[in-house]
Structure 1
Amino acid sequence: MNDSADLSARTFGNEERLPRVPLPTLDATCERFMEWCGPLLSDGERARTESALAGFLRPDGPGRKLHAALERYDASEGVHSWLDTFWPYRYLGRRDRIALNANFFFLFKDSQEGQIERAAGLIAGALDYKLRLDREEIPPVVQRGRPLSMVQNRFLFSATRIPGAEQDTVRAPYTDERPGPSDARHIVVFFRGNMIRMDVLGPAGRPHSLAELAAGLGTIMKAEAAAEPSAGHLTTKARAEWAASREALLALGNGKALDEIETALFCVCLEDFAPKNTLDACDHLLHGDSGNRWFDKAVSFIVFGDGTAGINVEHCGLDGTTILSFTDALLGAPPEKLSQRSGAKSQGLPVVEAIEFTLDDAARRDIEEAAASFAAYGAATATATVSFGGFGTDHIKRLKMSPDAFVQMAYQLAHKRAKGHVGATYESIATRQYRHGRTEAMRVVTPEVVRFAEVMDDPTAGTVLRRDAFRAAADAHVRRAKECQAGQAPEQHLWELQLIQRRRGEELGVTEPLPLFETPGWLTMRDDYLSTSSAPSVNIQYFGFGSTSEQCIGIAYVLLPDRLNVYLSTPRPVADAMLGFAGKLREAVQELRDLLA
């Protein structure tokens, strides 16, 4: 569907016409899997992996039965994609904390506004977006003449993740139970551990004026610190533990309080301090004071005492590309203009009501323990920012190279020099050109990358040899990224086959253990040393998330025409290695620039 004249201008108007996510053949996936894991393995590890793969692939083997079940599922009525069941399992099935481990943040560009003015402007912009979304007037994103899936926009407002004992669920509009957009008129404002309901839409559904939104926030900010500990701390617990705590809150009669939070359009978290510097702002956006957050909420705006602001996002229904479009809409025009477009009018001071929880001693103890545990967890995370001003996509394109390939190769070289070896690297690749498309998991290390990293540190290699190795590695990166964009990638396919066995193994007659998923190939390829993702927008300064394993460095980067800003995170025991990586990255970028110049 490439003819832009045929495209619908309605937000969700192209969804049914989008092509389906391709389901690769099992043989193609397994061949590609060996290509992907191979560069990370010794000869013995490769042989063990190939042996297990042969058993998985045999004509009557478990792989064939599981893949046939996936093909039948993909062809079923009402199924948008063979990944329809995978995504809930991947995100809602995780049992660790989502705070810091899964949620991500953007630090917005500066606005020179004070705290209340900034927060009121963000609320006004979000309400304008919400009302346009309700009318399907948000234009569908189109890339190279192809429309992208807009389904994730249904999880921006009044969406809340609900903890479960075995798997979480999502409470959201646009469902069978609640078809169509959210009819909520309120947000929840956090300040000094207080949770305040504020009605931002009047009885007729029109937004309050900017001045009234600011006045409502001003009223809230007169509050003393909360007398009781904040239930927000509980949203930082591992999911099954939080599910038990939520049941205990409900048993104490807190259904209404939870309902107010879970149905709110979004959260606004007002901090009573200014960040010390940019890194401090990023860290507070990532984890911050959990008494002033509800990490299960899809969207939380965080505004500091000096007007510095950003967003914390719950990841299960929302990827970075959707939040970028949302952010660009909020920050790409003055708040006055957005407020006016939304139909805002003066209706008196917004209704402001405290949300109060009934707690007993056990609940207070639970909250205090959760708060202490998360504070320690945040303190056990080391972070850093690395900024390259005056160097970005424009400069790299003049060097005749893909900007993403350039920075990914710089990460590889810096990692090898900092830690002594190339390690498994994840990169998120967007696939929203497909129906209900989200992302594909790309593994960056290719044979060309391994050779490039070796040649760059070979004292006998001259400039030409190094440059050729660099370009060969970058070209291989671009080829693999294109395969991932085309849905030709092995990891999520094999992972879903593993999950099908867990869910339906008995029914399908596949009950024996699957040795493939215990092989060095599968385990090594997915044991991240670097976990990378990019968010290009002039409206954000930094993007960030936590690391994914004990030795992993999380690398979130904003790559723009004139700059590259990188936020790094890792467990504190390996902080020195991360800081070493940051230093080597500065050197690598300069060295690779010079090599191509």
Structure 2
Amino acid sequence: MAEAHQAVGFQFTVTPDGIDLHLSREVLRHIYLCGVTSWKKRAIRFKNGVLMGVYPASPSSWLILVIAIMSTMYTRVDPSMGMINKIKDTLPVSDYLTVQTQTVLSAILFATGLWLALILLLRYTLKALLSYHGWIFECHGAKSFSTKIWLNLVRIFSGRRPLLYSFQASLPRLPVPSVDDTISRYLESVRPLLDDEQYKQMESVANDFKKDPAPKLQKYLKLKSWWATNYVSDWWEEYIYLRGRGPIMVNSNFYVMDLMYVTPTHRQAARVGNVVHAMLQYRRKLERGEHAPLRALGVVPMCSFQYERMFNTTRIPGIETDFLQHLRDRKHLVVYHRGRFYKVWLYYGGRHLWPAELELQFQRILNDPSPPQPGELKLAALTAGNRVPWARARLKYFSEGVNRASLEAIETAAFFLTLDDEAHGYDPDKLKSLDLYAKSLLHGKCYDRWFDKSFSLIAYKNGKMGVNVEHAWADSPIVGHMWEYVLATDCFQLGYTEEGHCKGDVTQGLAPPTKLQWEIPVACQELIEGSYQLAKEIADDVDFHGYVFEEFGKGLIKKCRTSPDAFIQLALQLAHFRDKGEFCLTYESSMTRMFRDGRTETVRSCTSESTVFVRAMENPTQKREERLALFQNAAEKHQHMYRLAMTGGGIDRHLFCLYIVSKLLGIDSPFLKQVLSEPWRLSTSQTPQQQINMVDLHKHPKYVGLGGGFGPVADDGYGVSYIIVGEDLITFHISSKFSSPETDSYRFGQNIRQAMLDIRALFDQKDGKKKQKEEKKEEEERKSV
């Protein structure tokens, strides 16, 4: 054990002459190095905390201002208009505080006060500038003169070299939409889904709500928006995620995949060694706030608060509600392999373990032939089942002794790692390779991922990787940011030897991983088995299909002067109509991170314009030009709705918060009940890519990610995640349930493919690669002439 290995460095013997103390120089050296590292961390955090606290100014600007004020004293000019003298009069006179010292100190205090006032002025000016969102409603590539001026002003007031959290104090608050606007947009969104009689009834219920109790609920919500940094996010986290009592596996957690074409090494332990080391580098920069903040157009900052709980975070089960436990400076991770749990230290002598050292530790685990302890094999199934049984089992069986110590090791770990004994990944020659890969990441065997950790890293025996993510603490773009950094660092900075091992040397005498000990009684084992059976039933019901669309991509869609997202969303509407013969309420996730503590908003992609377009596509008498005009109209409508959602004009988060207020006040609202109970039979999301631009895809086109996905939201619906990779590739992740006779993920994937091709045909465009070849051929012919 690592603890025993360290303990032998400190020994003492009691003798008649006293205590004979023996200290190990090696242990003392490690203590010294750990202390130095700890103080370095504190110093860097303090420095970066100061830099973020005074941003967009800098400490050097304070010194410049002090020197400027002091220099005016010699020219007998008083820029303070008498304030320096007033400050001077309040200071006591003594032998240590002479008149000259008083004057200097008064000037410094005035300069400091002026500096702080200027910082506040800069922040509020920047906040006022960032509250303007007219730029987002302009046509892409056609910025108005006023927008160009606005962008330059934002650049000027944004300062230089911002840290990750530098803009937090300058971000505007998410505005509360008016009740009239929300209800009007809601009725517009459901109009294509209801017949005339149903719509009149809904309109009547909505108008009754508008009269009473909406005004009362809105007042409370506005009061919260003035008090809280964001009127949605805390309630969204609590009521949508943490208060859910059902299984989070499949129903809440999502996954992220590895690189599509490239596997840097097929040695499992080596790949994990590099990836874990890259994650530790990312975490170090994250804890110091040294990552560059994400900015739209390279100028408009996005909120960074979700990054804070990426590491060292666990969802702790409760009887009525769960809570997120976030810690700092965790120095270990927990590894699961073939039913055994191991604690692996990530530091040695005050530094991170090198990739080769991590490879050694993971290989030791892979080589360990010991069997699991009774009840240990499926222990993690508790995190995959219902929350209340898990919370009760945790209190009863894991609150003392070795079980408590081992569970604490898992819950306080930096993250969770599974060394999987299966091989997965995308193989274009195997039809269901992507399907099996996705299901493995989404639920695995239901007992080999710790679904409560902020994320579980999964390493397959063929060198492929993936991540399963708990959803309460953050959304997919946050994890995607980390994953892009890790994959780029793994492939382009750390690298491997010719034999596929991690580079570098290994420190001799590195203590092996510690195997966690368990004493799980039979009654607890029965609870574990019950959770496992429930989780297995959920997992077996997931019908997944991954589809790589290679016919064309973003490059060709942009030549059609259409938003790629709008193009795909309309293709999904067309595919769904062909699949089920009807339209449904459609959820598309949009971010609200241009506001402080912003997370997501819903874009209701099924609109009157989209349904008219879809019906025209299914009408054989409709001309191509008419279909194209209807498509462009529907695409413009979708883009407008997406922009509204991004700028605080969405309706679903507003309605959700009004519902929470009504419940807290004990007010019954038939309108809100009906709105919140409507099923999302088509739930969609786009996975972002190239958030940090560490890889040039033009130079390295094979280093593209597969994106990620999630489980079906409705029992009779589809979940669709897609990632637009480079210029010529789109990957779809489609989920549904086998138990529903109405759905079939493979069938829906084929319908998506055909819908994409049919919409492209409206523009009479050829495949992007073929077109490039033809253009090149024409160019060569012109040169020869």
Shorter-chain TM band: over 0.9
Matched, 1:197 2:362: no
Q: 1:348 & 1:208 partners in 2: Cα distance?
A: 13
- For the structure 1 residues 335 and 407, does the alpha-carbon distance in structure 2 shift closer, same or farther, using more than 3 Å as the test? closer
Deviations 1:242-284 (A, max 9, x none): 2122222224642222211111001111111213822211110
Higher relative contact order (CA 8 A, sep 6+): 1
* Alignment equivalent of 2:234, drawn from 74, 80, 84: 84
- Which of these residues, 282, 299, 316, is aligned with residue 472 of structure 2? 316
How far is the alpha carbon of 1:580 from its aligned partner?
A: 2.4
Q: What is the DSSP-based 3-state SS (H/G/I as helix, E as strand, rest coil) of the residue aligned with 2:352?
A: coil
Q: Which residue is 2:288 aligned to?
A: 135
Aligned counterpart, 2:737: 571
What's the offset of the Cα at 1:82? 4.4
CA distance in 1, matches of 2:650, 2:633: 21
Q: Pick from 123, 147, 170: which aligns with 1:17?
A: 170
* Larger Rg computed on CA atoms: 2
Shift of 1:151: 1.0
Matched, 1:154 2:308: yes
Structure 2 residue 411 is the aligned partner of structure 1 residue 287: no
- Residues 232 and 653 of structure 2 are in contact (CA less than 8 Å); yes or no, is this contact kept in structure 1? no
Q: Following TM superposition, by how much is the alpha carbon of 1:574 offset from its aligned partner in structure 2, in angstroms? A: 3.0
The residue matched to 1:477 in structure 2 has which SS?
helix
Report the equivalent of 1:223.
368
Amino acid at match of 1:152: Q
Q: 1:596 to 1:159 in 2, by over 3 A?
A: same
Number of residue pairs matched?
A: 574
Q: 1:418–1:580: 8 Å Cα contact kept in structure 2?
A: yes
1:218 partner SS = helix
Taking a change above 3 Å as real, the CA distance of residues 339 and 64 of structure 1, as seen in their structure-2 partners, is farther
Alpha-carbon distance in structure 2 between the residues aligned to 1:85 and 1:536: 25
User: Within the alignment, does 1:67 sit opposite 2:218 as a pair?
Assistant: yes
Q: 1:428 aligned to 2:589? A: yes
Distance of aligned partners of 1:158 and 1:52 in 2 relative to their CA distance in 1, 3 Å threshold: same
Q: Distance in 2 between matches of 1:156 and 1:345?
A: 29
CA contact (8 A) 1:282 1:542 kept: no
Does the aligned pair in 2 maintain the 1:467–1:596 contact within 8 Å?
yes
Distance 1:344 1:329 in 2: 24
Question: Are the counterparts in 2 of residues 554 and 569 from structure 1 also a CA contact under 8 Å?
Answer: yes
Match of 2:657 among 460, 474, 496: 496
Task: State how far apart, in whole Å, the 2-side matches of 1:344 and 1:132 are.
Answer: 24
Paired with 1:479 and 1:406, the residues of 2 have a C-alpha distance of 14
Q: Deviations over 1:273-304 (max 9, x none)?
A: 21382221111001002221100100111111
For residues 579 and 108 of structure 1, what CA distance do their matches in structure 2 show?
22
Query: Cα offset for 1:464?
Result: 0.9
Q: TM-score, normalised by structure 1?
A: 0.92
Q: Is the 8 A contact 1:399 1:596 kept in 2?
A: yes
Separation (CA, whole Å) in 1 of partners of 2:391 and 2:660? 23
User: For residues 435 and 518 of structure 1, what CA distance do their matches in structure 2 show?
Assistant: 29
Stretch of structure 1 that moved more, 480-489 or 381-390: 381-390
- Contact 2:175/2:225 (8 A) holds in 1: no
Conserved? CA contact 1:198–1:352, under 8 Å: yes
Q: Please, which of 265, 271, 281 is the counterpart of residue 420 of structure 2?
A: 271
Corresponding position of 1:178: none
1:517 CA drift (Å): 2.6
Q: Distance in 2 between matches of 1:34 and 1:214?
A: 58
Equivalent runs, 1:335-484 vs 2, <5 Å: 337=493, 346=507, 348-349=509-510, 351-484=512-645
C-alpha contact (below 8 Å) 2:389/2:527 kept by paired residues: no
2:395 is aligned with 1:241: no
Work out the CA distance in 1 between the residues paired with 2:621 and 2:515.
70
2:751 alignment counterpart: 584
Is the 2:418–2:457 Cα contact (8 Å) retained in structure 1? yes
Task: Determine if the alignment matches structure 1 residue 332 to structure 2 residue 480.
Answer: no
Residues 447 and 337 from structure 1, CA distance in 2 versus in 1: closer, same or farther, beyond 3 angstroms? same
**2:409 aligns to what SS in structure 1?**
helix
User: What pairs up with 1:514-525 in 2 under 5 angstroms?
Assistant: 514-519=669-674, 523=677
TM-superposed deviation, 1:122: 1.0
402-411 vs 331-340, greater mean Cα deviation = 331-340
Map 1:506-585; keep pairs closer than 5 Å.
511-519=666-674, 523=677, 526-537=678-689, 539-560=704-725, 561-574=727-740, 577-585=744-752
Alignment pair present for 1:45 and 2:198: yes
Q: Which residue of 2 aligns with 1:177?
A: none
Give the aligned residue type for 2:367: K
| In 1, Cα distance between equivalents of 2:647 and 2:509 | 53
**Aligned equivalents of 2:393, 2:190: Cα separation in 1:** 41
SS of residue in 2 equivalent to 1:102: coil
Partner of 2:155: 4
Cα deviation 1:62-113 (Å, max 9, x = unaligned):
211111111111112x534444333322221222111111111111103231
Letter of the structure 1 residue corresponding to residue 423 of structure 2: A
